[in-house]
Amino acid sequence: MRRILLRSKKDPFEVVTPGEVIQKNLFGSNAGNLIFSEAAHKLLTTADTEVVANRFRADPKDAGRINEEYDVFVVPLANAFRLSFEPQLISLTRLIERLKIPVVVLGVGAQSGLDYDPKRLRSIDGSVTRFVSAVLDRSPSIGVRGEFTQMYLNSLGFKDVEVIGCPSMFMNGGDLRVEKAGPSLDSGSRLALSASRSALRTGDVGSVVMANYERYPNMTYIAQETTDLELLYWGDASETTDRNAPMPVHRTHPLFREDRVRVYLDPTTWIDDLRGYDFAFGTRIHGTIAALLAGTPGVVLCHDSRTLELCRYFDIPHERMSDMPLDVDAAKLYEEADYSALHSGHKERFDRFTSYLAAHGLDHVFAEGGDRGAAFEARRRETDFPPGIGSWTAGEGNDIGSRIGWLKENQAKSERRIAELTEKVAKLEKRAGRAAKGPEHVESAGPYRAARRVLDRVLKVR
């Protein structure tokens, strides 16, 4: 049997608790990661192929074992070409450089603004170049999410770049149908809202949230970050410190108070629940994709290149945050959303994706003779996944929850302070040790190190 090692935080059939998700960061900080990694699991799990999650582990020391135990390393990625992800990208590159098996990237994205300006990525050009070079040494091409990422890699000198989108949209193969239940929404419609904290930098997401909170009493905020799950599971100290914000980032927000916030630990329950909604909208690309997979109309409020390029590639209805009124009505988004291009182009996009798989030696369940994911779906139905996680409250108001939240926040602050002080002490001890040995023991900077420092300064200026 062929064995595929898949970059995935958890196995699709692994049943976990909220505490485990928080402790092990099984979302990889964002539950949207679970949707495209589960789609990859389903697509690649054929009758003669075993797919194993690597838990996001990227240790070069594992290369020998991986070369012996697996036939290919498949790497679905999100917006990995961004400044904050550079340390993880470097670790992943170091592992790939030691692998002798094929490495296949299933859709990586670069993150910039809505203007598609790559200048903000210049400081990580070197790390991106090294990663893509390592992949192309083990693969005929690299699959990217959209036009901006392709343009960015082309600017770095790479030509073997294919736009394939994100595997999440192919969870159900070449079949995708989204239908409106009626011509318009009303105050009784069920709405699912998603919002990202990063969108706060480019638009007033909080105003959008509150405007529609007041209009639609059946609107639920479907959160995706590990931080959101912590708020639901642990609570916070916002009640006692009187912290409030239009964005639902504190337990004092009315959506939390009214138990209208949900976090899903598994794509299955997330998508299944969205079948009962009339409309989904927000800044989270996979919040909307989850709705589309459920057949529920959705619109993305784009605030950066990563959301915009995916929407443009898949013809997902979308609006630019920069062009929207702060009190935009979900009813207007719903009425203007047109899914005809999404429907008509989906089969062609799926064929392009599966051609990419074939060119990289990967079979899939929707190929001729495959079971179209039937075995995967049957096992998923047999697994007892937990429902969406809602707001936890104590029996007598929120007093106990507030206390736990306060303790948790202060514990985190203490741990950060201890880590800072420990690092300072280690540096002081190192300096003291060198001083005690005398100047003859101070390490001199040889010609290589001197040249390296100059090169580092040049790279930073770029």
- Over the range 331-340, which residues count as b (16 or more CB within 10 Å of their CB) and which as e? bebbeebebe
How high is the pLDDT of residue 450? 44
Length of the chain: 462
Nearest to 254 by CA among 224, 219, 281: 219
Instruction: Please give the average per-residue pLDDT across 413-433, as a whole number.
Output: 82
Q: What is the mean pLDDT of the segment spanning 340-357?
A: 98
Token pair 């794509």: residue: 267
Q: Give the strand pairing for 219-222 and 191-194.
A: parallel
- Could you report the per-residue pLDDT of 21-64, keeping only the tens digit for each? 999 999 999 999 999 999 999 999 999 999 999 999 999 999 99
Which helix (H) or strand (E) segment holds residue 262: the answer is strand 261-262
- Give the pLDDT band of residue 457 (cuts 50, 70, 90): very low
Q: Residue 186: CB partners within 8 Å, gap ≥ 6?
A: 331
Read off the pLDDT of residues 375-408 as tens digits, 9 standing for 90 and up. Answer: 999 999 999 999 999 987 544 444 566 656 666 7
Where helices occur in 70-204 by DSSP H, the ranges are 86-96, 125-136, 147-155
Section 330-350 average pLDDT: 98
Question: Is it the case that residue 460 has pLDDT exceeding 70?
Answer: no
Strand, helix or coil for residue 396: coil
Q: 164 Cβ partners below 8 Å, 6+ apart?
A: 106, 107, 143, 144, 145, 352, 353, 356
- At 430 the pLDDT is 80
Concatenating the DSSP letter of every residue in 175-218 gives: ------SSSS--TT--EEEE--GGGGGTS-HHHHHHHHHHH-TT
Q: Domains (ranges, CATH) in the chain?
A: 2-171+345-382 (3.40.50), 191-342 (3.40.50)
Closest CA to 285 of 256, 261, 312, 249: 312
Whole-prediction pTM value? 0.87
- What was the pLDDT predicted at 424? 83
pLDDT(412) > 80:
no
Cβ 248 vs Cβ 195: under 8 Å: yes
Lowest-confidence segment of 27-36, 50-59, 276-285, 437-446 by average pLDDT: 437-446
Cβ atoms of residues 76 and 4 within 8 Å: no
Mean pLDDT, rounded, for 238-266: 93
